[in-house]
């Protein structure tokens, strides 16, 4: 703009000198040329002014983009560190998931084994109880024995005809099969000191008939005291 004002001032000085030197026609031609030149300068000035403004806007935009890129670049290490942390957490969770899955599988297998063992023990217990019940008639006929099935899958053995003074007097012991599948005497009336010995022996020999016979003999011997 300063250059344009200087140019216009010089142009005025030039026209003044020109009027004094040349005629009107030449002056008019020169004035037309001057007006054309001024118009061209005006158009060019407006064009370049617009270009300068666009350039300033472009520079501001570039600077804004540069700042944003700089900020993004500064965030990259933080994002990479955060991503590394996330990957580490995911790996830990995967390992924990695998360990949990393995533990669940082991528990399932252990549970299946326990179920099989329990099922086998229950089956063996039922078979033993059934065998004892089948022996009921034999014991009743030969030993004067009555066998009753009571609560919790226990068997109650009632001996009579032992005390010659009181043949109907009952001598009773109750038998169950424990979790280990062994015979266990849970009660005995009247009590016998040798019941633990008989119980241990039947566990070793699995000779149940001899076990019942020995208890009856012990009850008989007790009746004579």
Tens-digit pLDDT profile for residues 40-90: 778 877 888 888 888 788 888 888 888 888 888 788 777 788 888 888 888
- Using CA atoms, how far apart are residues 105 and 94, in angstroms rounded to an integer? 16
Report pLDDT for 143. 61
Tokens 């030993």, residue? 143
Helices 136-143 & 24-134 angle (0-180, nearest 10): 30
pLDDT at 12 over 90: no
CA proximity to 190, closest of 149, 218, 166, 154: 218
Mean pLDDT to the nearest integer, 32-39: 79
The confidence band for 202, taking pLDDT boundaries of 50, 70 and 90, is very high
Compute the mean pLDDT over every residue in the chain, rounded to the nearest whole number.
Answer: 84
Spatial contact of 7 and 41, defined as CB atoms under 8 Å apart: yes
Mean pLDDT to the nearest integer, 163-175: 92
Element (H, E) at 188: strand 183-189
Whether CATH 3.10.50.40 fits 144-224: no
* Domain layout of the chain by residue ranges: 88-142, 144-224
- Using CA atoms, how far apart are residues 225 and 223, in angstroms rounded to an integer? 6
The confidence band for 123, taking pLDDT boundaries of 50, 70 and 90, is confident
């Amino acid at each position: 703009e300063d250059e344009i004002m200087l140019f216009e001032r010089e142009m005025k000085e030039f026209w003044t000198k020109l009027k004094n030197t040349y005629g009107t026609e030449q002056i008019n031609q020169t004035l037309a040329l001057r007006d054309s030149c001024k118009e061209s300068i005006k158009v060019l000035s407006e064009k370049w002014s617009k270009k300068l403004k666009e350039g300033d806007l472009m520079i501001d935009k570039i600077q804004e983009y540069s700042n944003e890129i700089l900020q993004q670049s500064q965030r990259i290490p933080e994002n990479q560190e955060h991503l590394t942390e996330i990957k580490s957490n995911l790996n830990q969770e995967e390992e924990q998931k695998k360990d949990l899955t393995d533990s669940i599988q082991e528990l399932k297998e252990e549970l299946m084994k326990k179920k099989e063992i329990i099922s086998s023990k229950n089956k063996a217990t039922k078979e033993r109880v059934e065998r004892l019940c089948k022996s009921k008639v034999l014991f009743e006929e030969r030993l004067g024995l009555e066998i009753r099935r009571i609560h919790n899958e226990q068997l109650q053995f009632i001996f009579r005809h032992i005390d010659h003074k009181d043949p109907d007097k009952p001598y009773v012991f109750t038998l169950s099969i424990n979790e280990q599948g062994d015979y266990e005497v849970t009660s005995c009336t009247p009590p016998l000191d040798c019941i633990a010995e008989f119980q241990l022996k039947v566990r070793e020999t699995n000779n149940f008939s001899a076990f019942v016979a020995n208890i009856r003999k012990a009850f008989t011997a007790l009746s004579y005291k």
